[in-house]
Amino acid sequence: MTSATPTLFSRIQAGDLQLANRIAMAPLTRNRSPNAIPLAITAKYYAQRASAGLLITEGTAIDPFAQGYADVPGLYDTEQLDGWKKVTEAVHERGGKIVTQIWHVGRISHVDLLPESHPPLGPSAIQANTRTFVIDKATGKGHFVPVSKPRELKLEELPMIVHSYVQAARNAVETAGFDGVEIHAANGYLLEQFLKDGANKRSDDYGGSIPNRARLLLEVTRAVADAIGGGKVGIRLSPVTPANDIVDSHPQPVYDYVAKKLAPLGLAFIHVIEGATGGPREVEGRPFDYAQFKNSYRQAGGKGVWMVNNGYDGDMAAKAIASGQADMVAFGKLYIANPDLVERLREKAPLNAWDQTTFYGGGEHGYIDYPKLA
Ligand code: 8OZ
């Protein structure tokens, strides 16, 4: 049997997940979960977007030390999981599929966001030159502040970090009803901080060589895959993003190594941010060969769906799928503004413009009030 060239609207199997099309909603931080609990408007927001082949939730903290921004949801206590259960039920009622992004921010946090004003946790005690979002308790207004100086995680604390990812993944699938998880290993957060030599200056088994720096990321991914099944697990990677002050001196061999080691884990998808997250697709001084990265994965036997992201429009996405450069495309800002993005792309209908002022924090406006096509 011959199969026709796939389009954005062709079905696809991603590990255990049967997806109706190749359009994903990218993970998008929205800061609308006070006390880390997803609200009813969050269920409505995701349900409105359920025609996506796959919804990937906003980054969701795996434990209290994983929190780095105000009003980000969690996966570590009952009320949070009850809130998420309503989200997954609403999405499933509309025939959608939803995974949650499991997230530890590492050094990108602020003492005001952490238990007992604890410093953020990082591979090394190096403060990032970036900011996080806090909400002033007195006025209720959000604003950006520099992140705090982290403390170096001790070698004997690392198994606890792995355990925390595993527990969050189990909670997500077994209690909250998610179809799987995406491990957040991108955008300058904990797993990428260990991976990249700009943030990791350790001299133990988790620093120095590429295998050492990749160790935590791979231990977490293996443990999560063992716990819930690799076919329910994706991972997000950003080889050259400058987001959150992250850099590696030689990203290509780092990511080719990671690709080879991920290949045997039977993952559902590999989600790659091409370029600077939410910004230019080319980053000055940081060349990277994405085709080589993908080949490294395929040549090592990796069968997961290759999902790409960053600045795609409908035409670029269609070309990426038709050419085989990618199996799926994740859209971020377009999904904030277009709940029915699948239908709009299919009909080549005009797209709503997004309103940047309502991305982070606030309520229904800019969240669940973008119109669908008539
Ligand atoms: C924007 C604002 C806060 C967090 C990421 C989780 O970049 C984020 C994030 C994005 O992955």
Taking 60 as the threshold, does the pLDDT of residue 1 lie above it?
no
CA of residue 105 to ligand 1 center, whole Å: 9
Query: Is 255 assigned a catalytic role?
Result: no
Task: Tell me the pLDDT tens digit for each residue of 37-54.
Answer: 999 999 999 999 999 999
Handedness of CA 211, 212, 217, 220 (dihedral sign): positive
The per-residue pLDDT for 137 is: 76
Give the confidence band of 189 by pLDDT, cuts at 50, 70, 90.
very high
Atom of ligand 1 nearest to the CA of 184: 11
Give the C-alpha separation, 188 to 168, whole Å: 20
Taking 80 as the threshold, does the pLDDT of residue 2 lie above it?
no
Atom of ligand 1 nearest to the CA of 244: 7
CB 72 within 8 A of CB 61: yes
The per-residue pLDDT for 135 is: 82
Q: What percent of the chain has pLDDT over 70?
A: 99
Nearest C-alpha to atom 9 of ligand 1 is from which residue?
A: 29
Atom of ligand 1 nearest to the CA of 132: 3
Is 277 near ligand 1, meaning CB less than 6 Å away?
yes
Taking 90 as the threshold, does the pLDDT of residue 35 lie above it?
yes
The per-residue pLDDT for 4 is: 82
Task: Tell me the pLDDT tens digit for each residue of 348-363.
Answer: 999 999 999 999 999 9
CA of residue 77 to ligand 1 center, whole Å: 22
DSSP symbol at 161: H
Q: What percent of the chain has pLDDT over 90?
A: 95
Atom of ligand 1 nearest to the CA of 360: 2
Give the confidence band of 250 by pLDDT, cuts at 50, 70, 90.
very high
Nearest C-alpha to atom 5 of ligand 1 is from which residue?
A: 187
CA of residue 276 to ligand 1 center, whole Å: 12
Q: Please tell me which residue in 189, 297, 312, 367 is annotated as part of the active site.
A: 189
H or E element, residue 307: strand 305-309
Instruction: Extract the tokens encoding 281.
Output: 């697709």
The per-residue pLDDT for 139 is: 81
Domains detected in the chain:
12-358 (3.20.20.70)
DSSP string covering 41-55: HHHHHHHHTTTSSEE
Query: For residue 15, which phi and psi values (nearest 5 degrees)?
Result: 60, -125
Nearest C-alpha to atom 7 of ligand 1 is from which residue?
A: 187
Which ranges of the chain would DSSP assign to H, the alpha helix?
Answer: 40-48, 78-93, 158-170, 190-195, 210-228, 251-262, 290-299, 314-322, 333-337, 341-346
Give the confidence band of 3 by pLDDT, cuts at 50, 70, 90.
low
Is 230 near ligand 1, meaning CB less than 6 Å away?
no
The pick from 25, 29, 104 for probing ligand 1's pocket by mutation, whose C-beta has the most ligand atoms within 8 angstroms, reads 29
Is 120 near ligand 1, meaning CB less than 6 Å away?
no
Average pLDDT over residues 112-119: 96
Whole-angstrom CA distances from 210 to 94, 236, 264, 330, 339 are 44, 18, 18, 28, 41
Is 238 near ligand 1, meaning CB less than 6 Å away?
no
Q: Tell me the three state secondary structure of residue 71.
A: coil
CB 75 within 8 A of CB 112: no
Q: Tell me the three state secondary structure of residue 305.
A: strand
Neighbours of 362 (CB within 10 A): 15
Bin 366: left if φ > 0, else alpha if -120 < ψ < 50, else beta.
Answer: left
Give the C-alpha separation, 302 to 234, whole Å: 12
Is 191 near ligand 1, meaning CB less than 6 Å away?
no
Give the confidence band of 138 by pLDDT, cuts at 50, 70, 90.
confident
Taking 70 as the threshold, does the pLDDT of residue 57 lie above it?
yes
Is 185 near ligand 1, meaning CB less than 6 Å away?
no
Average pLDDT over residues 196-216: 98
Beta bridge partners of 182: 101, 234
Burial of 202 (0-12, 13-18, 19+ CB in 10 A): middle
| Closest residue by Cα to residue 79 from 40, 38, 42 | 38
Give the C-alpha separation, 47 to 280, whole Å: 30
CB 342 within 8 A of CB 51: yes
The per-residue pLDDT for 235 is: 99
> 3-state SS of 216-271?
HHHHHHHHHHHHHCHHHEEEEECCCCCHHHCCCCCHHHHHHHHHHHHHHHCCCEEE
CA of residue 29 to ligand 1 center, whole Å: 5
The per-residue pLDDT for 140 is: 74
Give the C-alpha separation, 285 to 287, whole Å: 6
Atom of ligand 1 nearest to the CA of 278: 7
CA of residue 30 to ligand 1 center, whole Å: 9
The pick from 135, 144, 187 for probing ligand 1's pocket by mutation, whose C-beta has the most ligand atoms within 8 angstroms, reads 187
List of long-range contacts for 44-49, beta carbons under 8 Å, 24+ apart? 44/90, 44/368, 45/367, 45/368, 46/87, 46/90, 46/91, 46/96, 46/98, 47/87, 47/90, 47/91, 47/93, 47/94, 47/96, 48/339, 48/340, 48/368, 48/372, 49/25, 49/96, 49/335, 49/339, 49/341
Neighbours of 141 (CB within 10 A): 9
Give the C-alpha separation, 351 to 334, whole Å: 8
The most confident of 135-144, 333-342, 356-365, by mean pLDDT = 333-342
